[in-house]
Homo-oligomer: A and B are copies of this chain.
Amino acid sequence: MKDQFFGYIQDLQKRIISKLEEIDGKAHFKKDEWKREGGGGGLSCVIEDGAVFEKGGVNISRVFGKLPEAMQKAFQVEEGDFFACGLSLVIHPTSPKVPTTHANWRYFEMYDKNGNIVQQWFGGGQDLTPYYLDEEDAIYWHTVCKNACDPHHPDFYSKYKKDCDTYFWNAHRNEGRGIGGLFFDYLKPTSDFSVEQWYQFVISVGDSFLEAYVPIVEKHKNEAYTPAQREWQEIRRGRYVEFNLIHDRGTHFGLKTNGRIESILMSLPPHVQWKYNHHSEEGSEEEKLIKVLAHPQDWI
C-alpha cells in the first residue's frame, strides 16, 4: 500500500502542477528536493509571483525510520518504526476574487520490532477559503466533494464536511477559516472497510481536487478588483496565518518532529496585514462573508 499510495501522490503532484502552470500562464513551479535526517525526504514545488497565483506550494514527502518521540507521545505508543507519505498543497491567488485553497492526502504506517504493521491509516481532505462569497462557487465546490464521497459511502460527505468545519475553526475568532470541504483522519481498516477501500476513497477525493478548484479560478481570475478589496484579502490572510500557527495540528506536528520548516510554512500567505480591531461595514460584501464563516452552512 505504501508504494501504491506514494506512486499515486507522485503522479497527482505532477498533474496538479501542470494544470496550475497552464492556468497561470506566467510563473513556473520551482522544484526543491530535500532529504530528511533519519530517512526519506520530499519534493517541494513552489510557485511565486505568478499572473494568477501569488504564492503556492504543492509538496510531497515520504519519510520513515525510528518513530520520533513527539509521535510516540501523540499516538501513545512505544518505540518502533514508521512510514508516512503525503501530498500537501496551499494556493494563494493574487486576486481577492479568487479563493485560497488547501488540500492534503496522506498515509501512515507503524511497525512493531519485527517490522509487522501494527497501525495504518489515511488522512486528508480539501477546503476552500474565499475572500468574497460566491454562493454558486460554494455549492459547486461542495458538490464536487460530495460526488467524490458518495460512491464510497452515503454518509461520508456529511460526516467529513462537518469534520472539516470543526477542524478549520479559528476558535479565538469564533469563525471558520473558510467555507470548508472535506476533512478526515485516522481512516483505519476494519472488518467493514479494508485498507484498499480507504485507498480508493482517498484517491477519489485527490482526483476531484482539480475538478473542484479549477473552474472557480477560471471564473474569477480576470475579474477587476480595488485596492480596498486587496487590503481586505490581506487582512483575511492574517486569519489564515492565525489558524495555521495557533490551531493547525499538522503545522505543530511538523514543527515538533523537526520537519522541513520551509515546506511546513510554505502555507503562509505572501503579503499579510493586521489592523487593530478591524470590522467590515454593515451590509457590505465583506460582512456577508464573515456571517457565513461564523455560521458554517449546508451548501447542498
Contacts and interface: CB of A to CB of B under 8 A. Distances in A.
Interface residues of A, number: 30
Interface stretch (A65-73, A116-124, A191-199, A237-245): A237-245
Contacts of A42: none
A69 to B, nearest CB: 15
A276 interface: yes
Interface string A245-270: 11000001001000001100110111
Interface string A215-255: 00000000000000000001000100110011000001001
Which of A57, A171, A271, A272 has its CB near the most chain B CB atoms (within 10 A)? A272
A261 B32 contact: no
Contacts of A46: 276-277
A255 B243 CA distance: 12
Interface string A21-63: 0000000000010000000000000101000000101000000
Interface string A261-298: 11001101111111111000000000000000000000
How many identical chains are in the complex? 2
Contact of A245 (B48, B171, B245, B273): B245
Which of A252, A255, A271, A275 has its CB near the most chain B CB atoms (within 10 A)? A275
Nearest to A258: B172
A15 interface: no
A276 B272 contact: no
Contacts of A14: none
A173 interface: yes
A276 B271 contact: no
B276 A55 contact: yes
Interface of A: 32, 46, 48, 55, 57, 171-173, 234, 238, 241-242, 245-246, 252, 255, 261-262, 265-266, 268-277
10 contacts: A46-B276, A55-B276, A57-B276, A173-B261, A234-B271, A238-B272, A271-B272, A271-B273, A272-B272, A272-B273
